[in-house]
Structure 1
Amino acid sequence: MRVDDFDFELPRELIAERPVCPRDSARLLHVPIIGGLSDRGVRDLPDLLMPGDILVFNDTKVIPARLFGRRGTAGVEVTLHQRTGLAQWKAFARPAKKLRPGDRVDFAEGFFATVAEKGEMGEVTLDFDRSGEDLMVALEAFGSLPLPPYIRKGEADERDRGDYQTVFARQKGAVAAPTAGLHFTPDLLAALDARGVKRATVTLHVGAGTFLPVKADDTNDHRMHQEIGVITPETAAAINAAKAAGGRVVAVGTTSARLLESAADPLGILHPFDGATDIFITPGHSFRLADVLLTNFHLPRSTLFMLVSAFSGLSRMKEAYEHAKAAGYRFYSYGDCCLLERTPT
Structure 2
Amino acid sequence: MDIPILTDKIKQTLSTLQYGDKPVELYEPIRYIMALGGKRIRPLLVLLAAKMYDDDVENVLLPAAAVEVFHNFTLLHDDIMDKAPLRRGQQTVHEKWNANIAILSGDVMLVRAYQLLLGVAPDKLAQVLQNFSETAAQVCEGQQLDMNFEQREEVTIEEYIHMITLKTAVLVGFSLELGASLKGATAADADHLRQFGNNIGIAFQLRDDLLDVYGDKAKFGKQVGGDILSDKKTFLMLTALQQASQEQQRIIRQWRNQTNEAIAAEKVQAVTAVYDALNIRQQTEQQIEDYFQKALAHLDAVAVPGEKKATLRGLALQLMERDS
Q: TM-score range by the shorter chain?
A: under 0.3
Please give the TM-score of this superposition, normalised by the length of structure 1.
Answer: 0.24
TM-score (norm 2): 0.25
Q: Which has the higher contact order (CA 8 A, sep 6+)?
A: 1
